[in-house]
Amino acid sequence: MRQEWLEFLQRISWNSPVTLALMSGAVGSIVTLTWISAKETREGKRRRRSSALELALSLESYARTCRTMMHKALWAAAEPTGLITREASKGVSVPAFTYPENVQWDILSRKAISELREYPATVHGAREYVEAFREFADPIDVCGQVEYECAKAAMSALALARATRSRHGAAAWRPGAKDSAMERELSDFIAKTEEKRRTSLERRTDSVPDGRTNMQPLKEALCA
């Protein structure tokens, strides 16, 4: 069979109209398929870029919402102690977060989808922790915890938005004058809060007496 095809090809005249027509059709098909493939590739990139931009904008907007809540928590903590502070702290919590409903998730990479999908769950966990903390903590401490959780949530949102823009070729975020120093302010606040907590924990640890030392006089008294 192979030999027959070789003999057939040898008998073909490459200058014949049939041969030229076949070659022209083949070249035309290749060009058409190449053009369609390139168009689909460009369209896919455009759609991914558009979806990434929409996701990044929602994350950056949420970061600003968190920063506003941080200010609200600070103002509530500055209220006089007692009932006023407790009432003021009721409206202070980590804001909820959801992505836009019209996002085309299927055109994004699996890694991007995994990272983006995990973020709302992280926010939900922070919200639940604050509400559990509210049940037994002092209102001022609740406001401080809300500030801290909001700062972490906002920082994570900005980092995820930046990665999403970069991964899918969307334009870099260009914050206005009001938001230009937001990431640095959040980072400084988190670092200062964690340092204060670390120092406070060390002081409390140092102030706890050694249980074995306290028990020694009691043992001596019982033995006497």
Residue 64 lies in a domain: yes
3-state class (DSSP) for residue 47: helix
The total of structural domains in the chain comes to: 1
| Residue whose structure tokens are 């040898």 | 10
CA distance 158 to 143: 22
Long-range contact set of residues 208-211: C-beta below 8 Å, sequence gap at least 24: none
State the residue range of the domain holding 207. 53-223
pLDDT higher than threshold 70 for residue 42: no
Give the tokens for residue 114.
């995994």
Which segments of the chain does DSSP mark as H helices, in order? 2-11, 17-77, 83-89, 110-134, 139-167, 182-207, 211-223
* pLDDT one-digit tens code per residue, 95-143: 999 999 888 888 888 888 899 999 999 999 999 999 999 988 888 899 9
Q: Report yes or no on 120 lying in a domain.
A: yes
Residue whose C-alpha is closest to residue 49's, from 99, 98, 109, 97 = 109
All residues at 6 or more sequence positions from 86 whose CB lies less than 8 Å from its CB, including other chains: 139
* Residue 31 maps to a domain: no
Residue 110 lies in a domain: yes
In a domain, 33, yes or no: no
User: For position 178, what pLDDT does the model report?
Assistant: 75
Average pLDDT, the chain: 78
**Is there a domain that residue 172 lies in?**
yes
Question: Is 68 part of a structural domain of the chain?
Answer: yes
- The reported pTM is 0.72
Does 206 reside within a domain?
yes
* Residue range 138-164, pLDDT digits in tens: 888 999 999 999 999 999 999 999 999
Predicted pLDDT at 221: 44
